[in-house]
């Protein structure tokens, strides 16, 4: 049965599942997607968004032939529902709860020594992960992350006379590079338009209020857990200068500014972001870096 004479469909290799776990004393039903095999790249989405931001990475055979890419939706985000009782509380993400859910999710999937890739608030979170649990993490790659990011926590998105469904995504779209492909920039906007009320604000509580690692960069042992920080030059929330300050303060940290890209590199311009990501992955995993791509299947599986 088909509505067209020439039905053509393709299936992506990305698989989505749910895992039930307990974190910070509460039951959580967490949605995640994964693809590929090899060392794990554990991907953490931005404030107010969800794991769809990593769909290009999940669908890149040059990556998934060498790595197992796993991306999950934080509680309250995407297809991960908020925990019971959510209607009686103000959502404010804390560093303790954020670190806990990442560790608990990894434990539930028996993931060991992942390379954790986080963007925006997660770009800063990975620094706290490395500081607290360097022995559990293979490496961290922080995108748009810094020791302290000011100014993102604001109350207006909860006002009843503001349509946060439109204003929050436009507010965050401002952080992208204008030359990034329009279809990708619009997709970032769309994902943001689907965030729950107060969730972007609650996430930025962590990003701009709760986490402040200034003066503590020396507590991160990059020999135990290598740290890479990359920030797009069009990012005016976490600027390249903010990230440079972090790199300077964390002994052994690497990275810098990404040209022609903004705050959401993996989502707003994946092909360009990939040129920055691959050298890091090859440095971290030289054993799988040179794998021959000739035998790889093309993206998706044709299905008539």
- Partners of residue 302 on adjacent β-strands: 10
Backbone angles phi, psi at 179, to 5 degrees: -85, -5
Does position 174 bind another protein by CB under 8 A? yes
Does position 214 bind another protein by CB under 8 A? no
When binding is defined by CB under 8 A, the residue of 13, 212, 221, 233 that contacts another protein is 233
What is the size of the binding site for another protein (CB under 8 A)? 19
Q: Which stretch binds another protein (CB under 8 A): 5-13, 74-82, 86-94, 169-177?
A: 169-177
Nearer to another protein, 151 or 215 (CB): 151
Nearer to another protein, 107 or 162 (CB): 162
Does position 167 bind another protein by CB under 8 A? yes
Nearer to another protein, 210 or 242 (CB): 242
Cα–Cα distance list, 230 to 5, 119, 144, 280 (Å): 47, 9, 6, 11
Nearer to another protein, 185 or 285 (CB): 185
CB of 35 to another protein, least distance (A): 33
CB of 97 to another protein, least distance (A): 27
CB of 236 to another protein, least distance (A): 4
CB of 166 to another protein, least distance (A): 5
Q: Which stretch binds another protein (CB under 8 A): 89-97, 134-142, 171-179, 295-303?
A: 171-179
Does position 239 bind another protein by CB under 8 A? yes
Nearer to another protein, 10 or 174 (CB): 174
Nearer to another protein, 113 or 170 (CB): 170
CB atoms near residue 7 (< 10 Å): 10
By CB under 8 A, the residues from 144 to 163 that bind another protein are 156-157, 159, 161-163
Q: What is the DSSP string of 211-231?
A: ---TT-GGG--TTTS-EEEEE
Does position 46 bind another protein by CB under 8 A? no
Q: What is the DSSP string of the chain?
A: --SSSS--EEE-S-EEEEEEEEETTEEEEEEEEEE--SSEEEEE--TT--GGGGHHHHT-HHHHTT-EEEEEPPTTSTTSPPPTTGGGS-----HHHHHHHHHHHHHHTT--S-EEEEETHHHHHHHHHHHHHTTT-SEEEEES--S---S---SGGG-TTS-HHHHHHHHHHTTS-TTS-HHHHHHHHHHHHTPPTTHHHHHHIIIIII---TT-GGG--TTTS-EEEEEETT-SSS-HHHHHHHHHHSTT-EEEEETT--S-HHHH-HHHHHHHHHHHHHHH-HHHHT---TTPPPSSEEE-
By CB under 8 A, the residues from 10 to 39 that bind another protein are none
Question: Which residues contact another protein by CB under 8 A?
Answer: 156-157, 159, 161-163, 166-167, 169-171, 173-174, 177-178, 233-234, 236, 239
């Amino acid at each position: 049965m088909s509505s067209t004479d020439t039905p053509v469909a393709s299936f992506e290799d990305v698989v989505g599942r749910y895992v039930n776990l307990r974190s910070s004393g509460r039951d959580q039903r967490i949605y995640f997607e994964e693809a590929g095999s090899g060392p794990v790249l554990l991907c953490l989405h931005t404030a107010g968004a969800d794991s769809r931001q990593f769909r290009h990475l999940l669908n890149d055979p040059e990556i998934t032939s060498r790595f197992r890419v796993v991306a999950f939706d934080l509680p309250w985000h995407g297809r991960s529902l908020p925990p019971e009782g959510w209607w009686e509380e103000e959502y404010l993400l804390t560093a303790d709860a954020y670190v806990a859910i990442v560790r608990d999710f990894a434990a539930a999937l028996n993931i060991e020594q992942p390379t954790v890739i986080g963007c925006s608030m997660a770009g800063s979170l990975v620094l706290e992960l490395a500081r607290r649990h360097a022995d559990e993490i293979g490496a961290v790659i922080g995108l748009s992350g810094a020791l302290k990011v000011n100014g993102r926590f604001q109350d207006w998105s909860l006002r009843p006379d503001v349509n946060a469904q439109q204003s929050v995504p436009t507010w965050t779209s401002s952080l992208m590079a204008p030359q990034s492909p329009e279809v990708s920039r619009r997709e970032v906007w769309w994902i943001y338009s689907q965030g729950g009320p107060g969730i972007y604000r609650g996430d930025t509580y962590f990003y701009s209020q709760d986490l402040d690692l200034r003066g503590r960069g020396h507590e991160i042992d990059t020999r135990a857990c290598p740290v890479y920080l990359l920030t797009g030059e069009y990012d005016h929330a976490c600027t390249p200068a903010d990230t440079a300050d972090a790199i300077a303060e964390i002994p052994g940290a690497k990275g810098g500014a990404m040209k022609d890209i903004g705050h959401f590199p993996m989502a707003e311009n994946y092909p360009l972001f990939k040129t920055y990501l691959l050298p890091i992955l090859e440095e971290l995993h030289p054993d799988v870096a040179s794998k021959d791509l000739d035998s790889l299947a093309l993206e998706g599986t044709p299905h008539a």
